[in-house]
Amino acid sequence: MSDGIERGADGLGRCWWAASAADYAAYHDREWGRPVADDFRLFEKLTLEGFQSGLSWLTILRKRDNFRAAFAGFDFHRIARFGKRDVARLMADAGIVRHRGKIEAALSNARAACRLLEKEGSIASFVWRYEPGPAERPARLTRSVLTGLTWSPASKALAKDLRARGFSFVGPTTAYAFMQAMGLVNDHLHGCDAREAVERERARFRRPR
């Protein structure tokens, strides 16, 4: 197999990190790297990447439905109106990650998202400006390349812009994980069966303007 590719019982070759659990494999196959233009889904992905900091993504993935219930489906208009009682409710919710700083950041980021929407027209049109060109991407993605790719000039610029607009818990590394998750980059390894499917989807995808 290619560097970093694990073949599952179903015969599909996947990026090595997806081989440890069935729900990880499903996320890898159906969601990771596929382009997203829906503002609520983008806010969800950005928020969950912030909660993931210091934890495994599998932990967050397995709590995602609980997060969706607790955070009003990641409708940032509704979250922006959350107050102290909501913070207390969230801190008491064992189904999510009970980290006060991350919870308060999610509420603050929802208010920042509302301002961004008012100014830019959509979260998606803002985020997709940071899609890197081919010259900024590795010529070939292997496990060794990807494990060293924790941020990029584009993720650094995106994080800086988000922070300038009032977002918190979003540095270059979190921004890069967000870019990977929502399809701003295709970081499926060469040799992964999902890579070409994602590339086809990206080719069909209409970039928000």
> Do 156 and 175 meet the contact criterion of CB atoms below 8 Å apart?
yes
Report the distance separating Cα 156 and Cα 151, nearest Å.
Answer: 7
Report the distance separating Cα 58 and Cα 43, nearest Å.
Answer: 19
Task: Catalytic residue, from 16, 57, 131, 201: name it.
Answer: 57
> Do 87 and 96 meet the contact criterion of CB atoms below 8 Å apart?
no
Task: Catalytic residue, from 6, 16, 27, 31: name it.
Answer: 27
Please report, as a single letter, which amino acid is at residue 195: R
> Do 109 and 46 meet the contact criterion of CB atoms below 8 Å apart?
yes
Q: Is 176 a catalytic residue?
A: no
Radius of gyration of the chain measured on its C-alpha atoms: 17
- Cα angle 195-52-191, degrees, rounded to a multiple of 5: 15
Task: Catalytic residue, from 24, 32, 49, 128: name it.
Answer: 49
> Do 58 and 24 meet the contact criterion of CB atoms below 8 Å apart?
yes
Contacts (Cβ under 8 Å, ≥6 apart) of 201:
34, 35, 183
User: If DSSP codes are grouped into helix, strand and coil, which group holds residue 137?
Assistant: coil
Catalytic residue set: 27, 49, 57
